[in-house]
Amino acid sequence: MIYDAIIIGRGPAGLSCAIYTTRGNLKTLVIGKTDSMLFKADKIENYYGFEHPIGGKELFETGEKQALRLGAEIKEDEVVGIEKTDNFKVICVNGEYEAKTVLLATGAPVVKAPVRKLDQFEGNGVSYCTTCDGFFYRNKKVGVLGYTDYAVHEALELMAFTSDITLYTNGMPLNISDKHKDSLSKLRISENKIKELDGQDKIEWVVFEDGSRESIEGLFVAYGSASSTSFALKMGIATEGKSIKVNDKMETNIPGLFAAGDCTGTFKQIAVAVGQGAIASRQMIEWVRKKR
């Protein structure tokens, strides 16, 4: 089955868009983990329409109920990849889904992996995109920096190029779904805390806090959840800094792919995200109508 619209992200931008696309008669699937920034908001008093402060969790849940009531489908899952086919294929930890149009509403790009000298080796052995750069590391000794399903997904993708892959969790406890547990056996796993990266012109060493070091030829960063930035790199979505570049219709440079909310680098407010979600919906409805 092909959805009309898949919305990646369950925060205000995504749900506002879903409310509109559903009412606009698009078969709409919202995918995301229950980890919107909203949850960190204890008390929201600047979103129009609520006399008294409302908790972030409450707003999140109310918004979901609203979208469900109108007919949207919501899946708790983590998106690890998006591919452009005739439509769009959205790859999650627990399944793959296809849609005619996609909205990126993944929130603010995740915080950088806390590893010293990561920046310094970007483009010199440090990559954020297995799809883009995996090919350059055929039969080489590579690492994936991460501890979640997303990191395992990236590691598995690298297996097309090399079998010498270490998952560096940087001291973080592994947070992997059942689906990926078996795959872990194909990987070497290092749970040591990393002190820094080292090398001459390009990355050569991972140096641990206990003073030990391991040689490496490439390191792929997939720390935490896949962010809009990861999708941008893999799909060639134009960015400005770490944000998805959109025009005033919320269109990215890829036809049929839209973005809204914090991932567009806008004023990071619920009000703005909700407005952008609505604007995006109008274009998405238009897009699907033309495709039908």
45 contacts a second copy (rule: CB under 8 A) = yes
Q: Is 74 in the site for a second copy (CB under 8 A)?
A: no
219 interacts with a second copy by CB under 8 A: no
Q: How far apart are CA 185 and CA 105, in angstroms?
A: 33
- 96 is an interface residue for a second copy by CB under 8 A: no
- C-alpha 228, offset from chain centre: 5
Compute the least distance from the CB of residue 92 to a second copy, in Å. 24
Part in contact with a second copy (CB under 8 A); list of ranges 28-36, 66-74, 105-113, 234-242: 66-74
Query: What is the rounded CA–CA span in Å between residue 16 and residue 277?
Result: 5
| Sites for a second copy among residues 13-42 (CB under 8 A) | 15-16, 19-20, 23
Q: Which of 42, 182, 201, 248 binds a second copy (CB under 8 A)?
A: 248
Instruction: Draw the binding track, 265-284, toward a second copy (x: CB under 8 A; -: no contact).
Output: -xx-xxxxxxxxxxx--x--
49 binds a second copy (CB under 8 A): yes
Which tokens belong to 271? 């009000």
User: Is 137 a residue that touches a second copy (CB under 8 A)?
Assistant: no
Query: Which of these segments, 63-71, 81-89, 107-115, 173-181, binds a second copy (CB under 8 A)?
Result: 63-71
The reply to whether 59 sits near a second copy by the rule CB under 8 A is: yes
In the complex with a second copy, the residue whose CB is nearer, 13 or 288, is 13
CB of 67 to a second copy, least distance (A): 9
Query: CA 238, 170, 182 angle in degrees (round to 5)?
Result: 85
* Cβ count within 10 A of residue 173: 8
Compute the least distance from the CB of residue 110 to a second copy, in Å.
23
Min separation Cβ 155 and a second copy, Å: 37
- Does the footprint of a second copy cover residue 47 (CB under 8 A)? yes
Number of residues that bind a second copy (CB under 8 A): 37
Would you say 93 or 274 has its CB closer to a second copy? 274
Residue 70 C-beta: closest distance to a second copy, Å? 7
Contact with a second copy (CB under 8 A) among 12, 32, 143, 146: 12
Number of alpha carbons in the 13 Å side-chain half-sphere of residue 209: 10
Q: What are phi and psi of 235, to 5 degrees?
A: -105, -5
Contact residues for a second copy (CB under 8 A)?
12, 15-16, 19-20, 23, 45-52, 54, 59, 62-63, 65-66, 69-70, 248, 266-267, 269-279, 282
